[in-house]
Amino acid sequence: MKKTILVTGGAGFIGNCFCKLILKERPDWKVVNVDCLTYAANPSTIREEMKDPRYVFYREDIRRREGIFEIFKKERPDVVVNFAAESHVDRSIEDPGLFLQTNILGTQVVMDACRAFGVERFHQVGTDEVYGDLPLDRPDLFFHEDTPIRTSSPYSTSKAAADLLALAYHRTYGLPVTVSRCSNNYGPYQFPEKLIPLMIHNATHDKELPVYGKGLNVRDWLYVEDHCRGILAVLEKGKVGEVYNLGGHNEKSNIEIVKIILSELGKPESLIRFVADRKGHDQRYAIDPSKATAELGWAPTTMFCDGIKLTIAWYKENGWWLDECTSGDYLKYYDKMYGNR
Ligand code: NAD
Ligand code: TYD
């Protein structure tokens, strides 16, 4: 069936993977990508899609109401998926205001456009970080969809507000909303401010690997394409007004991840440097994805041991992409965040 799907943030890490998946597996769908290309978006990421006649790109900011409404007027999307966000916890600690503007007010603008032009679905891409953290000594505990919201960082707080606003738009205005909350993603095209690409980049260049605290914090890793397939499953089989947790039961401590990367790249562990911890650092994230499995038939297909190899191989083959990301302002960012840490 023909559809127009409008994706915000489709030049970022997860959004671009989602656009590629739709173009590949839904041949009747047109993809409209709305992204203002912040520092986190390398234009080379979407170079191939730009050649596809079923793909349209608009450089626009989701906070700019007139611009967003114009795009909706022209494209009349059937389905909207909101990936656009400021997404890095460390940056949110430095500049919370921008996170509140983009992640909350930007989401409001996109939903207002959905209401004004009538869409069959608005999907909000959320994070498991809205549930706060779990203690390291309770491996029996997991995040469920009804786990209370208990955020730690300005980033997770802004994402929680956006989720709640989306659910409120469903209840108040009847907007057909779904929300997914996913654990940490990894894979190609992730900006090298996040743990895995940053460590791959540094190790490749024989630079120190800055591990926060003792490196014992645990994250639940999901291969990015599995996440995108989960979102597609929510769009096609999910119930309006519902939240779905997406995760892969792939818990690893940060120090384990760093050692795997060093070993895959044949680099020495002497490159590891333990640095000052992140403020308010969440201990452990762990998703219970059983609702998505039972109701949508979704389950991750890429095991961490395979996904991390694919990921490292991709960054090795596409060093030019990382080099484009790490020139210019990145150097200033790196120096500010890690210079005196
Ligand atoms: P990212 O930082 O790689 O990409 C974000 C994209 O949004 C960029 O292309 C950026 O240019 C765009 N953007 C930012 N502000 C915008 C604005 N005002 N207007 C238009 N475009 C704007 O982020 P990501 O890792 O791809 O995350 C995508 C979504 O998934 C986010 O909502 C994030 O909260 C959520 N999420 C991420 C993870 C993860 O592990 N990365 C896990 C769970 C949920
Ligand atoms: P990150 O990739 O920023 O994702 P999130 O904070 O959203 O989970 O960080 C993942 C984990 O890695 C987190 O516990 C912080 C840690 N970390 C480091 O130890 N060193 C680093 O340089 C970075 C960026 C993260």
Q: Give yes or no for a contact between 137 and 248, defined as CB atoms under 8 angstroms apart.
A: no
Ligand found nearest the CA of 107: 1
Query: What was the pLDDT predicted at 341?
Result: 84
Mean pLDDT of 9-36: 98
Cβ pair 154, 93 in contact under 8 A: yes
- Output the six-digit token pair for 8: 């915000």
The verdict on whether 145 is a catalytic residue reads no
Ligand 1 near 85 CB (within 6 A): yes
- Kindly name the residue from 35, 49, 129, 226 that is annotated as catalytic: 129
Q: Is residue 259 part of a domain?
A: no
Q: Token pair for residue 110?
A: 């996109």
Q: Is residue 78 part of a domain?
A: yes
Tokens 């994805």 -> residue: 289
Q: Is the pLDDT of residue 128 over 80?
A: yes
Paired tokens of 184: 């940490």
Return d(Cα 179, Cα 158) in angstroms, integer. Answer: 15
Catalytic residue among 128, 193, 226, 251: 128
Segment 16-28 shows an average pLDDT of 98
How far is ligand 2, taken at its centre, from the CA of residue 26, in Å?
34
67-104 in b/e form (b: 16+ CB < 10 A) is bbeebbeebebbbbbbbbbbbbbbbbbeebebbbebbb
- Residue 243 CA, ligand 1 centroid: distance in Å: 19
Alpha-carbon torsion (226, 232, 237, 242), positive or negative? positive
Query: For the whole model, what pTM was predicted?
Result: 0.98
75 found inside a domain: yes
* Cα(35) to centroid(ligand 1), Å: 10
Measure the CA dihedral 118/124/130/134, to 10°: 140
125 C-beta closer than 6 A to ligand 1: yes
284 in ligand 2 pocket by Cβ < 6 Å? no
Compute, in angstroms, the gap from residue 87 CA to the centroid of ligand 1: 5
Whether residue 115 is contained in a domain is answered as yes
- In a domain? residue 164: yes
| Average pLDDT across the chain, whole number | 97
Averaged pLDDT, 36-58: 96
Domain count, the chain: 1
Q: What is the CATH number of the domain that holds 35?
A: 3.40.50.720
Residue nearest to atom 22 of ligand 1 (CA): 84
330 within a domain of the structure (yes/no): no
At residue 1 the predicted structure's pLDDT band, cuts being 50, 70 and 90, is confident
Tell me the pLDDT band of 10, cut-offs 50, 70 and 90: very high
Ligand having the closest approach to the CA of 98: 1
Residue 267 CA: distances (Å) to CA of 185, 201, 237: 24, 12, 45
Measured CA to CA, the distance from residue 337 to residue 323 in angstroms comes to 19
Question: Does the residue 274 lie in any domain?
Answer: no
Instruction: Give alpha helix (H) positions in the chain.
Output: 13-25, 65-75, 89-94, 96-99, 107-117, 154-173, 195-204, 224-237, 254-265, 290-296, 304-317, 319-325, 329-338
Question: CB of 178 closer than 6 A to ligand 2?
Answer: no
Residue 255 lies in a domain: no
Residue 75 is encoded by which pair of tokens?
């494209």
Can you give the residue range of the structural domain that contains 132?
3-187+223-247+283-302
pLDDT in tens, 288-307: 999 999 999 999 999 999 99
Q: Is 195 in the pocket of ligand 2 (CB under 6 A)?
A: yes
CA 30 to chain centre: 22
Is position 129 annotated as part of the catalytic site? yes
Q: Is pLDDT above 90 for 340?
A: no
Nearest by Cα to 133 from 155, 149, 122, 111: 149
Mutational pocket test of ligand 1: of 7, 38, 181, the residue with most ligand atoms within 8 Å of the beta carbon: 38
Ligand 1 pocket check for 45: Cβ under 6 Å: no
Question: Which two structure tokens, joined as six digits, stand for 76?
Answer: 């009349």
Is 155 a catalytic site residue? yes
Residue 118 has pLDDT above 80, yes or no: yes
Nearest CA residue ID for atom 9, ligand 1: 12
**Cα-Cα-Cα-Cα dihedral sign, residues 324, 209, 337, 154:** positive
188 lines ligand 1 (CB under 6 A): no
